[in-house]
Chains A and B, each alone.
Chain A
């Protein structure tokens, strides 16, 4: 009797071993090409895109394990394999045909999409990316102005591989003016949720690396516009993501720096009219003011002026966003949470969004004077 039970258990275990091995996915990591960054560009022929798979070169990998941080002899630490096709899978197959090892997407850290990508192509690419089993949804997503391939070709002296540069950047809150890093799953959430539109940070290559101080706004899969750096910091303040934003006040010749603090959005429906209120509470440090003029009265005045200026900037930004009919701030999403009945009456939120009455309450509290953090 016991033998029977044991034999059954062993049979089940053996069966599990053979059934659950994940198609015998055992392949040592050195026999794979670790794709760390992937760029998606529109191809020359319509309805096709070009996908760039960027991986570290074998010599860079070897140097990395030996603790060397510099590239070998000025050679690039990464190499790119390109593939073109109507679908991501076709492009992947074409790229795989060009290399001798397994093109492995499990370690993808950076997804770069071109702002030139048509909505249909972007949708197709995003759908395909979601269905790749080895690819988790954690890579950061950035937008490249015009060409993702060109952006990936850019190197930075700060990091050997572009993907590691962006991991360091977005992984550190205090390393950015605004914490704008967006992971792929966060992007997918914004795509799939009614009442909110995705925004993606823009990585602009320059001679010494990358500049990430703007965001690209999308209405669904449609690229709408790119905010300038000032608007981007204002956007960060409205989202509660600001960390190192500063504001120069010429009247007092002083700077209110390290503006940081939460922002709370509430919605109300008054006589059928949607009111959105942003309550922004910022703390800051006052810099540039000489010690003789540091009076409580003056600091209070500066604080008041900073609050007014920022509130005006915020209102202007929201008006512009309403004008462009793009809702990255998630006013619609908040309305659907707070007033689901009202929201459900709207067949198309984008038709109602421009009519929303927006109020911004901004309070800047100066907590420290004269010292730099």
Chain B
């Protein structure tokens, strides 16, 4: 350890009692225990067959504990002597005590850098600086903090008014853009862990917290899970500040608010609730914040962990949209929704989400309304094909063959000649193969997964038909099903359908077409019963809002969508002017061209 105190006898003189205690420290119970343990270790070293690892661990722990206790005691003593009303959680103003306290707690970790130095050159004021190596910018610490403080010439004023030293340093010395003041150890440690640099000044009870945060962050990349043909290619990364920046760039209005909430007793994860004041219903914002603050978990790692707390029921269907696209979040915010961003997760949540939200993409708004409507209808068709084709096959080939045209029933009967299993087993076999292939391919490197997909599709598909385990019609049906179920542009919407698929299959097996209708009614009733933050899940279909149907399974031209979604109950329902004037509808191109020609002639 660098003998900091020996270079500064002036300060040593201020605390003679402590110096005496350091010379002959009183043996604390922890020290006594440690000594006993050491003696035991020495004794046991000579005894063979005894594992000393555990004992050594115990000695190390006791040493650490002893040091912490000592530092705390020292801090408390100093604090009491300087400012009697200070509690243990508050910084006493003694740099040396702070050093000991930091060193004995977080300082044991190698990524925590604690450095003692002097402010000024002629009249030196001791100071202490701590930061997390890697999370803080070294350039900022070196150039904007340490260098400037060490070369500061007005240290006399610091010594005269030690209680306002932090103010002088803040105003006149450090050139870090964002700096705050903190006194409580509990908050200082959290700030330190967040990448800030904390500066202790001798005699000053306030500690400077300098924003030197510079996370090792991934660059802003193109979205991987929600690709768009013509839309912006920016996805969030893990740093919440970048996420906020990406949204701020899209909504420059001062009404865009980011409200921070800390979630997780252990992780202290920063969660930001974004909304647009004057658009979003304040009741909705308040409800979201209350839900977030009521979450009691130790560690918040992923944004989806919040989804359960933000949804009403244990429904299969997602009620919170998770997206990595900044443009979708900005669009939702402008519509009057609330976005939640979680630090270290590149997926933001927007809510309340309705069923139709999961079938809308960026491309719907970058393409013409004709194309967008066609694509959405294709998605709807894909959903129906994927969900109903195998169950219709089972129902029509096993339970209600009278409903099929004769030629088709003969074709199906012909394709099933020699197949030992009933149609439901065919579906089970094929769907199991599809699920296994999907699960195997999803986490493999891209090159391997492509190969696996090809092998699975061609080799297994052909082999299964050749082995007469399933009919060739079933290959067609299952292929269409697998494609159809994934037409949902949002991945999590495919999951409930993959599960409900089995519900409908079983209903079709037992009850035929009647069963399919019954199952669909049950699903529809469940969907109609869902409600998230007061917004019906099936809106605008149930309750029917004809005005909002303009942006549902078909998309009307932008000029027709004058109002925001009724179900969101926004403060400002109108989002654009109806029939805006079009200046210069038919510019006189020909006439102007002629005039130019005439001028040239």
Bound CA span A20–B411, Å: 29
Bound CA span A20–B512, Å: 10
Establish whether residues B511 and A17, one from each chain, have CB atoms under 8 Å apart when the complex forms.
Answer: yes
Establish whether residues B509 and A163, one from each chain, have CB atoms under 8 Å apart when the complex forms.
Answer: no
Establish whether residues B414 and A62, one from each chain, have CB atoms under 8 Å apart when the complex forms.
Answer: yes
Partner of A29, one of B397, B407, B512: B397
Establish whether residues B414 and A64, one from each chain, have CB atoms under 8 Å apart when the complex forms.
Answer: yes
Establish whether residues A28 and B398, one from each chain, have CB atoms under 8 Å apart when the complex forms.
Answer: yes
Establish whether residues B398 and A163, one from each chain, have CB atoms under 8 Å apart when the complex forms.
Answer: no
Known: A17-B510, A22-B512, A65-B410. A58 touches B417 (CB 8 A): yes
Residues of B within 8 A of A29 (CB): 397-398, 401, 409, 412-413, 416
Residues of A within 8 A of B413 (CB): 29-30, 32, 34, 61, 65
A136 close to B (CB within 8 Å): yes
Establish whether residues B406 and A65, one from each chain, have CB atoms under 8 Å apart when the complex forms.
Answer: no
Residues of B within 8 A of A64 (CB): 407, 410-411, 414
A167 close to B (CB within 8 Å): yes
Bound CA span A25–B416, Å: 18
Q: Taking the nearest CB of chain B, how far is it from the CB of A37, in angstroms? A: 11
Residues of B within 8 A of A61 (CB): 410, 413-414, 417
Residues of B within 8 A of A16 (CB): 518
A104 close to B (CB within 8 Å): yes
Establish whether residues B511 and A21, one from each chain, have CB atoms under 8 Å apart when the complex forms.
Answer: yes
Residues of A within 8 A of B401 (CB): 29, 32, 34, 104, 106-107
Q: Digitize A223-244: 1 where CB-to-B-CB distance is under 8 Å, 0 elsewhere.
A: 0000000000000000000000
Residue of B whose beta carbon sits closest to that of A106: B402
Q: Taking the nearest CB of chain B, how far is it from the CB of A68, in angstroms? A: 10
Q: Taking the nearest CB of chain A, how far is it from the CB of B591, in angstroms? A: 54
A164 close to B (CB within 8 Å): yes
Establish whether residues A20 and B409, one from each chain, have CB atoms under 8 Å apart when the complex forms.
Answer: no
Establish whether residues A107 and B409, one from each chain, have CB atoms under 8 Å apart when the complex forms.
Answer: yes
Establish whether residues A134 and B402, one from each chain, have CB atoms under 8 Å apart when the complex forms.
Answer: yes
Give residues of chain B (512-558) contacting chain A, Cβ–Cβ below 8 Å. 512, 514, 518, 522
Interface of chain B, helix or strand or loop or mixed? helix
Q: Taking the nearest CB of chain A, how far is it from the CB of B47, in angstroms? A: 62
Give residues of chain A (32-86) contacting chain B, Cβ–Cβ below 8 Å. 32, 34, 36, 56, 58, 61-66
Establish whether residues A36 and B422, one from each chain, have CB atoms under 8 Å apart when the complex forms.
Answer: no
Partner of B399, one of A17, A22, A58: A22
A115 close to B (CB within 8 Å): no
B423 close to A (CB within 8 Å): yes
A263 close to B (CB within 8 Å): no
Interface of chain A, helix or strand or loop or mixed? mixed
B164 close to A (CB within 8 Å): no
B415 close to A (CB within 8 Å): yes
Establish whether residues B410 and A20, one from each chain, have CB atoms under 8 Å apart when the complex forms.
Answer: no
Residue of A whose beta carbon sits closest to that of B411: A65
A26 close to B (CB within 8 Å): yes
Known: A27-B398, A32-B401. A20 touches B414 (CB 8 A): no
Establish whether residues A164 and B398, one from each chain, have CB atoms under 8 Å apart when the complex forms.
Answer: no
Residues of B within 8 A of A36 (CB): 406
Establish whether residues B414 and A164, one from each chain, have CB atoms under 8 Å apart when the complex forms.
Answer: no
Bound CA span A325–B407, Å: 41
Bound CA span A26–B423, Å: 10
A109 close to B (CB within 8 Å): yes
Q: Which of A30, A32, A109, A134 has the most CB of B within 10 A?
A: A30
Bound CA span A26–B417, Å: 17
Establish whether residues A107 and B398, one from each chain, have CB atoms under 8 Å apart when the complex forms.
Answer: no
Establish whether residues A26 and B509, one from each chain, have CB atoms under 8 Å apart when the complex forms.
Answer: yes
Residues of B within 8 A of A28 (CB): 397-398, 416, 422-423
- Count how many chain B residues have C-beta atoms less than 8 Å from C-beta atoms of the other chain: 28
Residues of B within 8 A of A163 (CB): 406
Q: Digitize A157-193: 1 where CB-to-B-CB distance is under 8 Å, 0 elsewhere.
A: 0000001100100000000000000000000000000
Bound CA span A20–B397, Å: 18
Q: Taking the nearest CB of chain A, how far is it from the CB of B89, in angstroms? A: 46
Establish whether residues B407 and A164, one from each chain, have CB atoms under 8 Å apart when the complex forms.
Answer: yes
Residues of A within 8 A of B411 (CB): 64-65
Residues of B within 8 A of A65 (CB): 410-415, 417
Establish whether residues A136 and B512, one from each chain, have CB atoms under 8 Å apart when the complex forms.
Answer: no
Residues of A within 8 A of B398 (CB): 26-29
Q: Which of A20, A29, A32, A65 has the most CB of B within 10 A?
A: A29
B419 close to A (CB within 8 Å): yes
Residue of B whose beta carbon sits closest to that of A104: B401
Q: Taking the nearest CB of chain B, how far is it from the CB of A156, in angstroms? A: 16
Bound CA span A64–B414, Å: 7
Give residues of chain B (384-437) contacting chain A, Cβ–Cβ below 8 Å. 397-402, 404, 406-407, 409-417, 419, 422-423
Q: Taking the nearest CB of chain A, how far is it from the CB of B195, in angstroms? A: 47
Residues of A within 8 A of B409 (CB): 29, 34, 107
Partner of B406, one of A13, A136, A164: A164
Establish whether residues A34 and B410, one from each chain, have CB atoms under 8 Å apart when the complex forms.
Answer: yes
Bound CA span A66–B465, Å: 14
Q: Taking the nearest CB of chain B, how far is it from the CB of A344, in angstroms? A: 40
Residue of A whose beta carbon sits closest to that of B424: A26
Residues of A within 8 A of B509 (CB): 26
Bound CA span A17–B404, Å: 23
Give residues of chain A (3-30) contacting chain B, Cβ–Cβ below 8 Å. 13, 16-17, 20-22, 25-30
Bound CA span A102–B274, Å: 66
Establish whether residues B407 and A30, one from each chain, have CB atoms under 8 Å apart when the complex forms.
Answer: no
Residues of B within 8 A of A32 (CB): 401, 413
Known: A21-B511, A26-B509. A66 touches B414 (CB 8 A): yes
Q: Taking the nearest CB of chain B, how far is it from the CB of A317, in angstroms? A: 35
Q: Taking the nearest CB of chain A, how far is it from the CB of B460, in angstroms? A: 22
Bound CA span A127–B417, Å: 35
Establish whether residues A136 and B402, one from each chain, have CB atoms under 8 Å apart when the complex forms.
Answer: yes
Known: A21-B510, A28-B422, A65-B412. A107 touches B406 (CB 8 A): yes
Bound CA span A106–B403, Å: 8
Bound CA span A63–B401, Å: 20
Residues of A within 8 A of B512 (CB): 22, 25
Q: Taking the nearest CB of chain B, how far is it from the CB of A59, in angstroms? A: 9
Bound CA span A36–B413, Å: 13
Residue of B whose beta carbon sits closest to that of A164: B406
Bound CA span A167–B410, Å: 15
Q: Taking the nearest CB of chain B, how far is it from the CB of A162, in angstroms? A: 12
Bound CA span A13–B237, Å: 47
Bound CA span A29–B512, Å: 13
Q: Taking the nearest CB of chain B, how far is it from the CB of A104, in angstroms? A: 7
Bound CA span A73–B368, Å: 58
Bound CA span A243–B444, Å: 66
Bound CA span A30–B417, Å: 6
Establish whether residues B414 and A63, one from each chain, have CB atoms under 8 Å apart when the complex forms.
Answer: yes
Partner of A26, one of B399, B414, B518, B522: B399
Residues of B within 8 A of A167 (CB): 406
Q: Digitize A100-113: 1 where CB-to-B-CB distance is under 8 Å, 0 elsewhere.
A: 00001011010000
Residues of A within 8 A of B402 (CB): 106-107, 134, 136
Residue of B whose beta carbon sits closest to that of A20: B511
Bound CA span A358–B410, Å: 49
Residues of B within 8 A of A164 (CB): 406-407
CB pairs A–B below 8 angstroms (18 shown) = A17-B511, A20-B514, A21-B511, A22-B399, A25-B399, A28-B398, A29-B409, A29-B413, A34-B401, A36-B406, A61-B414, A62-B414, A64-B410, A64-B411, A107-B404, A136-B402, A164-B406, A164-B407
Further contacts, 15 of them, CB under 8 A, given A30-B412, A65-B411: A17-B510, A21-B511, A22-B512, A28-B397, A29-B401, A29-B416, A30-B416, A30-B419, A34-B406, A65-B414, A106-B402, A107-B401, A109-B406, A163-B406, A167-B406
Which residues in A have some Cβ–Cβ distance to B below 8 Å?
Answer: 13, 16-17, 20-22, 25-30, 32, 34, 36, 56, 58, 61-66, 104, 106-107, 109, 134, 136, 163-164, 167
Minimum-distance CB pairs A-B, first 5? A65-B414, A106-B402, A30-B416, A61-B414, A65-B415
Which residues in B have some Cβ–Cβ distance to A below 8 Å?
Answer: 397-402, 404, 406-407, 409-417, 419, 422-423, 509-512, 514, 518, 522
